[in-house]
Structure 1
Amino acid sequence: MLSNAALTARYYQTKAPYSPQQDAAGYEAPPAGYAPVYTQLVARHGSRGLSSMKYDMAVYNMWKKAQEDGALTALGAKLGPDVLKIMKANFLLGYGVPGISKPGYGNETQVGINEHKQLAARMLLRQPAFWKQIGETASTAPRKIVSVTSGVDRAVDSGTFFVESLKTAQPALAPLITYPAAAGPFPDNAPAVSQPNGTNRFLLYFHKLDKTTDLVTNTTNPLYRTYQASQEYQAFKNDQDLADKQSGLFKTPEAKAAGRAVLERLFTKAFIDKIENGSYKFSNAGSSTFSSDDGGFTSTLTGDGKTKIESLADAGSMMYELYVISPAMRAEANVDFSAYMPLDQAKQFASLNDASDFYDKGPGMTEKGDITYKMSQILVDDLFAEVDAINKGDLSHAAKLRFTHAEIIIPLASRLGLKNVFQQLPKALTYSYQNNPWRGEYVSPMAANLQWDVFKNASGNLIVKMLYNEKETDFMAACDNAKISSSSHFYDYAKLKACYGYAALN
């Protein structure tokens, strides 16, 4: 079985299973006199199954027609049964797994669960003396470990598995875990929608704030800015320039050729030609039912018909969607889709997906300004506010853990201006691997995470080091003068804060 590190070399884009990008043994040590005083995390949920019955049903419907036509190659004959394995695994995903309340599409897989358990374990191992002290003083001088999520199942579950891993490794931390009250009450023009403690949609789901649950009309409310930025971003999702960029990606000769190359391994030329000339079209319409092996759970779902195969590029891209999800489902489906997706075509479709994400989640077009990442300012503010508290002598928090989604991690990375992450393109150019370093598998693989470790000396001076996917990572280049030395990954906090446009420290 391939390691997660090897899997990321197979063009799985933002569905790449997580692998730490640096061995902790190689981390730069803090300068003499500095000791860890605080840490904080923002993490994407772990590897998951498909979000809904879309690509799988569309591909299966295409395969069934090819079977009826006698148009399958020897390899193509294997595709249908493998798609059914993927479908069954998604229908039943999470059934019988402690911590998963509602089985089905969108849940974390065993790979994803382990990603967060192991991430938590490595957090403890990175600073063992710090965590030992936090545990030993839990009854005499308790410091909170604050946990918040977007409120969406897979992010909530990631938080649960992460925290349980902390408690298993170091039981003394258990009473320190706290879940703050949800922001609110919202919406502010109707009865409040109750949300569980530990939920913060404004902080960790800002791309989809909704008037039915999150409406903020009071301009003096600190959350008003985030709500408005969310509405502006959601309106941008219907922007004509964005639509033109994204739709155009799959209409190129290269996309068509990649689709044909994938299909030629599976179907006869006559069948493929009928897709190309429009005689054959497929969608995710139809119903399926699957039951668990023990008969304890049955699920029936009906596709909405909105996911369509109307071109060779469409067909290839949907095959790619099954290809990229299969590594996350190794335990549940045990299907290797690499036979159906050669690396050259995987790279082609990864580049198209990266382009699409670049435009609607990433840096995007220069002419659109900060529309794709302005809403992440609340999260940047929260990161700095936590360190500010430490600087002011408030040690009530030992750590803050946040669990969220790719749609949050990606704009956060843009807002922070990270190298090879924030490089916009003018509308006249179209993103490609040749003209931009942005890559989904780097910016937001499954369980992507950003961590800030904070250190303090006897004089009270704070320094900060950032880990991005557990690799020591520089802040934006403009902040290099905040480094404690030109080759260091540690930053003087006062200078770093000023560099990001905040007022000088008190």
Structure 2
Amino acid sequence: MKRVTPVLALGALLLAALPAHATGDGPARRDGYGTKAVYSPGQDPRTYRRPPAGYTAVFTENVSRHGSRSATDAEDGDTVLALWDRAAADGQLTRLGAEFGPDVRALEAAMSAVGYGNLSGRGKDELRATAVRMDKRLPGLFSSIARNGEKIDVVSSGQGRAVDSGTVFATALTDADPALKTAFGPARVDKDLLYFHKSAGGADYQKWLAGDERLASTLESVTDQPATHRAAARVLGRIFAPAFVRRVTGGEFSAVASDITAAEAVYNLYAIAPAMSEESPDGRGWDFGRYLAPRDAAWFGYLGDAEDFYEKGPSFADSDITYRMAGPLLDDLFRQVEAKRDGTGTLGAELRFTHAEEIIPLAALMGLPGSEKPARPGRTYTWADNPWRGAGVASLASNIQWDVFRKGDDYLVRMLYDEKEIPFKAGCKPFSRGSTFYRLGELEKCFDRR
């Protein structure tokens, strides 16, 4: 998140939008965690629709984000502890603030033990549970894979947490059905497919991200405004005495943090804490919610969403630079199903493990729910007028799955997003009215696959 000149009108609009999103413990509270929200399956498996009569599952594939993880580094903890130690020495902590430093040190110790950026216990549980539900959703498929000697391919971005996610997922499937052990070959790495935002194929995107003036000015206008400074003061005021907050705001500790970066660091620890719940002292979670009021957590959650929306998601209405590089991944989804139809493939399942930087553009490219609407010309993305939410688009362990069914020479595809049945984009005609099953040929036509 970057800083520039305050934008009063935008701040007023965003504040007006907050009450509907900033209170309670349900979906609105979840929004405040952004893409660090922990995973929650979107549908009760018992409510899945049955495929049309005569159709049998013959293939499944996914694109999954890695599971819950620790923070990628110690920067946020180091930032707030440097301020906390100074305030403690000066006698400038609130009663609640006196508990903050020890809590941060305990969380940082837990993340260091897991390894920064690595899967947490909760992350492994998320992946195991998703794999078991996949097996139960398609029991006939996995039995036939084992019986017919078909293969299951596991491919990842090559980053540790994605590699480990694939291993945990595959192990859970074989634990659920030991006959599948021979179906798995060596796991593969394909950076161009599953880490495209940093591969050669993303060169244009990388150049745009680093140097686009409109992107930079838009994000700066969102972040550095009076509403953000007020939220930062409230966050810091829970931990530090008013005189110390004024010193931070006045720039005395600018070598450590500004008021906004300090408050962002507190928020980032709050946001990552649920992903580390199993590593908490009692195994029940960390109580970092007491250090931010719900409205302030929502505000900083919104700022994170704005950054992800513009840098990775639907972004500006006149540009597709953020998501067109997901084209090869969408092509691969189709290619695997077409190979099954054409009899040229040997796979019963294709399992891919990647990152939010790939899930978010893929969702925008496919027009998945919440990712259909870019920012209108002259209008800034807000929670008030756009449904895009990081927690809904690409939470930790989020996934897109295609199940394929056959009847004779006819193939149907069903899509699940975070395990919820969803329709394909507008313009794609389902098998029957209101169905979530689509003929492969219809999808090829709808997505203009020639």
Superposition TM-score, scaled by structure 2 size:
0.91
* Paired residue type of 2:195: Y
Q: Does 1:279 align with 2:252?
A: yes
Given that residues 205 and 404 in structure 1 are in contact (C-alpha distance below 8 angstroms), is that contact kept between their aligned partners in structure 2?
Answer: yes
1:105 and 1:151 mapped to 2: Cα distance? Answer: 16
Tell me which of 330, 346, 351 is aligned to 1:401.
351
SS at match of 1:261: helix
1:172 aligns with 2:145: no
> 1:248 matched to which residue of 2?
221
| 1:10–1:343 contact (8 Å) kept in structure 2 | no
Verify the 8 A CA contact 2:31 2:389 in the aligned structure 1. Answer: no
Instruction: Specify the alignment match of 2:196 in structure 1.
Output: 206
Per-residue Cα deviation, 1:347-378 (whole angstroms, up to 9, x for no partner): 111111000100101111123x1100111100
Paired with 1:428 and 1:310, the residues of 2 have a C-alpha distance of 30
Contact 2:30 2:391 in 1 (8 A): no
Aligned-partner Cα distance in 2 for 1:7–1:129? 38
Counterpart mapping for 1:281-430 below 5 A:
281-283=254-256, 309-311=257-259, 313-334=260-281, 335-367=286-318, 369-394=319-344, 396-426=346-376, 428-430=378-380
1:133 counterpart = 2:181: no
The answer (yes or no) to whether the contact 2:31–2:392 under 8 Å persists in 1 is: no
- Is 1:434 paired with 2:384? yes
Alignment match, 1:79: 100
Which stretch of the first structure deviates more once superposed, 438-447 or 265-274? 265-274
Tell me how far apart the structure 2 counterparts of residues 169 and 431 of structure 1 sit (CA, whole Å). Answer: 44
Distance in 1, Cα, partners of 2:29 & 2:351: 25
**Other structure's SS at 1:477 match:** coil
CA contact (8 A) 1:262 1:342 kept: yes
Using the TM superposition, name which of 409-418 and 8-17 deviates more. Answer: 8-17
Amino acid at match of 2:423: D
Equivalent residues of 1:62, 1:282 under 8 A apart? no
Structure-to-structure mapping, 1:11-50, within 5 angstroms: 11-50=32-71
**CA apart distance, 1:315:** 2.0
Q: Is the 8 A contact 1:8 1:16 kept in 2?
A: no
Distance between the aligned counterparts of 1:203 and 1:45, measured in 2? Answer: 15
Q: Give the 3 Å change call, closer, same or farther, for CA 130–8 of structure 1 in structure 2.
A: farther
Per-residue Cα deviation, 1:122-169 (whole angstroms, up to 9, x for no partner): 10000112222222x1xxx31110110000000000000000111111
Q: Deviations over 1:6-37 (max 9, x none)?
A: 89636211111101010111111111111111
C-alpha displacement of 1:486: 2.4
Tell me which amino acid in the other structure corresponds to 1:469.
D
Instruction: Quote how far apart the aligned CAs of 1:336 are.
Output: 1.5
8 Å contact from structure 1 (residues 143, 395) kept in 2: no
Which of residues 431, 434, 442 is equivalent to 1:495? 442
1:301 is matched with which residue? none
- The Cα of 1:395 is off from its aligned counterpart by 5.2
How big is each residue's C-alpha offset from its partner over 1:425-476, in whole Å with a ceiling of 9 and x where there is no partner?
1452211101211000000000000000001113x10111000000001111
Q: Give the C-alpha shift of residue 243 in structure 1.
A: 1.4
Aligned partner letter, 1:154 = R
SS at structure 2 position matched to 1:456: strand
1:107 aligns with 2:114: no
Distance 1:172 1:419 in 2: 37
- Counterpart mapping for 1:447-458 below 5 A: 447-458=397-408
Identity of aligned residues (%): 40
Measure how far apart 1:333 and its partner are: 3.3
In 2, the alpha carbon distance for the partners of 1:402 and 1:476 equals: 22
C-alpha distance in 2, partners of 1:117/1:6? 24
Residue 432 (structure 2) aligns with? 485
For 1:144 and 1:349, locate their aligned partners in 2 and report how far apart those are by CA, in whole Å.
45
Corresponding residue number in structure 2 for 1:189: none
Match of 2:22 in 1: none
Deviation at 1:251, TM superposition (A): 0.9
Distance (whole Å) between structure 2 residues aligned to residue 126 and residue 488 of structure 1: 18
Q: 1:86 and 1:420, CA in 2 relative to 1: closer, same or farther beyond 3 A?
A: same
1:320 Cα deviation from its structure 2 partner:
0.7
SS in 2 for 1:451: strand
Select the residue among 453, 461, 467 that pairs with 2:416.
Answer: 467
Residues 123 and 359 of structure 1, relative CA distance in 2, 3 Å threshold: same
The structure-2 alpha-carbon separation of the partners of 1:23 and 1:205, relative to structure 1 and needing over 3 Å to count, comes to: same
Letter matched to residue 203 of structure 2: Q
Shift of 1:113: 0.7
Deviation at 1:250? 2.0
- Structure 2 CA distance, aligned partners of 1:12 and 1:351? 9
Say if 1:427 and 1:274 are closer, same or farther in 2 by CA, change over 3 A: farther
Per-residue CA deviation, residues 41-64 of structure 1 (Å, 9 max, x unaligned), is 110000000001211110111111
Residue in structure 2 matched with residue 187 of structure 1 by the alignment: none
Point out which structure has higher relative CO (alpha carbons under 8 A, 6+ apart). Answer: 2
- 1:101 corresponds to which residue? none
Q: Secondary structure at the match of 1:279?
A: coil
Q: How far apart, CA to CA, are the structure 1 residues paired with 2:329 and 2:223?
A: 34
Q: Could you say if the C-alpha distance between residues 473 and 165 of structure 1 is closer, same or farther in structure 2, counting changes exceeding 3 Å?
A: same
Contact 1:90 1:105 in 2 (8 A): yes
